[in-house]
């Protein structure tokens, strides 16, 4: 393989100093190599490769060998720029069958005067995760028609803990009778996770973590501050899906995905104008170019507008499913290649789609800039826009995993890892 030949000339990197993030998108694969520098990550290598139309379906891998080939190209470019080989990788997982939910469990402690310890919290957390897994398995079984589908926990994050109605950031040592714990969990079908494990194996990389992509985007803007009051709706518009995360006061309330992304706009243009997918994509990305005839531009805009109506309805439906949220955040932050379509922002700002949802006022909309990502610094000059945000978030997940893994397998270590993330 090309990558293997190039790697023979690379310096071997040992230890946990470097992390690779692979954002395996429907249209592009993006590879970032970053070096740990204290609590920060410094990007030293960037690679990008286009996917074939048949490589992905609805945000999930459809052709493992094709995806591996494209990953090799992106990774080789990143390693060439970095001048080194990293051994550990974090890979994003997307698609409509990735289910992220926030569950709350409440219980009355039989000994309220006894301080909470890690074993008691471990018991509570396990109960929340068991409940969430059963819910995700039922939902995926319903959507796939397969009652025996296997699902696996991908990510878990603390949303909030209250003891006797008092919010705490770390419950260990507190006394009290009534404990309420909210935990976000993301589950995915084993078949999708297995495909990512195979990709990492084919690339001779150690799979450090798999992360639900909307969770990774939330990690990009939250950083390591446990007391963060960051609040926003995050929308990652990819080629095959749109992934949405709602974050309130630094906690991930939940994630939703639906199967409309940038590729849907291209397919509508191709169908309406009887064009190849490639030619339709060129028209979509160059819609504002002066060389495009006005009559052609009008047809392209009409096709885009029709798909936009469906996409906005998808956003509205996804947000309506956050029924446990009293009020939705009043700002929407966009990222992903599909968000490059200017009309996307216009559609969210101009229409009244939000009126039936629990917003306190009309939400503002803008793209996430790489400079807004906390704790990740680009030293290459190539991480230039919102299309790299998911990959940067994956680096944050990798950092969290490495920091947590140093605490051992004790119950306290497990709890600390969960509380940190």
Cα separation of 329 and 273, whole Å? Answer: 39
Contact indicator for 252, 211 with CB cutoff of 8 Å: no
- pLDDT score recorded for residue 406: 46
- pLDDT score recorded for residue 74: 96
CATH architecture of 2-95+192-225+370-405: 2-Layer Sandwich (3.30)
pLDDT tens readout for residues 340-361: 988 899 999 988 899 999 999 9
- pLDDT score recorded for residue 132: 79
Say if 2-95+192-225+370-405 and 258-367 have the same CATH topology.
yes
The CA–CA distances, whole Å, from 386 to 32, 55, 309, 333, 341 equal 14, 23, 23, 10, 12
- 247's torsion region: left (phi>0), alpha (psi -120 to 50) or beta? beta
Residue 235, strand partner residues: 244, 334
pLDDT tens readout for residues 385-398: 999 999 999 999 99
Contacts of 21 (CB under 8 A, 6+ apart): 30, 31, 32, 34, 89, 90, 91, 92, 391, 392, 394, 395, 398
- pLDDT score recorded for residue 156: 80
- pLDDT score recorded for residue 3: 52
Weakly modelled stretches of the chain, pLDDT under 50 = 5, 8, 14, 406-413, 416, 419-421
Cα separation of 362 and 311, whole Å? Answer: 18
Q: What percent of the chain has pLDDT over 70?
A: 90
What is the pTM assigned to this prediction?
A: 0.86
- pLDDT score recorded for residue 420: 45
Closest to 185 (Cα-Cα) out of 98, 256, 100: 100
Cα separation of 342 and 351, whole Å? Answer: 15
Cα separation of 163 and 170, whole Å? Answer: 11
- pLDDT score recorded for residue 227: 56
Domain boundaries, the chain: 2-95+192-225+370-405, 258-367
The Cα angle at residue 83 between residues 18 and 387, in degrees rounded to 5: 65
CATH architecture of 258-367: 2-Layer Sandwich (3.30)
């Amino acid at each position: 393989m090309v990558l293997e030949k190039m790697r023979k000339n690379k310096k071997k990197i040992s230890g946990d100093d470097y992390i690779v993030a692979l954002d395996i998108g429907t249209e592009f694969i993006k590879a970032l190599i970053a070096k740990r520098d204290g609590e920060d990550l410094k990007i030293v290598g960037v690679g990008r490769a286009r996917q074939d139309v048949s490589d992905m379906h609805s945000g999930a891998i459809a052709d493992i060998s094709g995806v591996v080939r494209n990953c090799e190209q992106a990774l080789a470019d990143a390693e060439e720029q970095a001048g080194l080989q990293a051994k550990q990788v974090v890979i994003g997982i997307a698609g409509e069958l990735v289910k992220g939910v926030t569950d709350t469990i409440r219980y009355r402690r039989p000994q309220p005067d006894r301080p909470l310890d890690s074993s008691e919290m471990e018991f509570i957390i396990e109960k929340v995760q068991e409940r969430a897994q059963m819910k995700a398995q039922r939902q995926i079984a319903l959507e796939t028609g397969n009652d025996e589908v296997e699902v696996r926990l991908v990510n878990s994050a603390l949303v909030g803990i209250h003891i006797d109605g008092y919010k705490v950031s770390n419950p260990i040592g507190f006394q009290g009778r009534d404990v309420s714990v909210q935990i976000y969990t993301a589950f995915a079908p084993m078949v999708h996770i297995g495909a990512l494990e195979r990709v990492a194996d084919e690339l001779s990389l150690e799979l450090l973590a798999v992360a639900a992509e909307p969770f990774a985007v939330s990690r990009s803007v939250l950083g390591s501050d446990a007391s963060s009051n960051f609040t926003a709706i995050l929308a990652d518009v990819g080629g095959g899906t749109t992934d949405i995360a709602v974050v309130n006061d630094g906690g991930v309330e939940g994630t939703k995905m639906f199967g409309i992304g940038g590729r849907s706009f291209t397919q509508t243009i191709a169908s309406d104008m009887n064009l190849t997918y490639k030619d339709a994509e060129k028209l979509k990305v160059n819609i504002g170019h002066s060389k495009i005839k006005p009559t052609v531009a009008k047809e392209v805009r009409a096709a885009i507008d029709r798909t936009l109506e469906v996409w906005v309805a998808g956003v509205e439906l996804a947000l309506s499913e956050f029924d446990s949220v009293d009020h939705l955040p009043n700002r929407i932050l966009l990222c992903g290649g599909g968000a490059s379509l200017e009309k996307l922002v216009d559609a969210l700002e101009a229409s009244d789609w939000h009126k039936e949802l629990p917003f306190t006022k009309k939400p503002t909309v803008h793209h996430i800039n790489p400079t807004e990502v906390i704790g990740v610094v680009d030293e290459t000059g190539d991480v230039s826009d919102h299309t790299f945000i998911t990959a940067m978030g994956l680096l944050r997940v990798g950092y969290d995993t490495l920091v947590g893994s140093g605490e051992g397998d004790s119950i306290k270590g497990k709890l600390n890892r969960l509380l940190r993330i």
